[in-house]
Each structure stands twice: as structure tokens, then as C-alpha cells.
Amino acid sequence: MIATKIIGLTSALTKSKKAKIGLLLLEIAIIAVAYKSNKQEKASLGTDESM
């Protein structure tokens, strides 16, 4: 969450459209990785409780 806010601030300060698009793609990748990690963590917690 903090990383995406920093990337958002950097994007706001950047004038180049290509740089903004690159930073946006990086931000999306970070969010996707965090979502996947969170989903896997919840799944592993669910299997531990059923044992």
C-alpha cells in the first residue's frame, strides 16, 4: 500500500506520459502481487484450521 502511494506521488510529479504509463504498469503489478500473496495466505490459513 505504501509502495503504491509513493509510485502515485512520483507519477504526479513526472511530466513524461511514457514515464507515467510505466509507473502505472508497475503500480498495477505491485497490487497484483500483493493481492495474490494475500489470497494465498488466506487459503493456507483456511487449510490449517480444518486440520
Handedness of CA 7, 1, 26, 21 (dihedral sign): negative
pLDDT-derived band at 33 (thresholds 50, 70, 90) equals: very high
d(CA 47, CA 7): 35
pLDDT at 1: 63
Q: What is the pLDDT of residues 40-49, one digit of tens each?
A: 888 887 765 5
**Greater model confidence, 19 or 11:** 19
Q: Provide the whole-model pTM.
A: 0.58
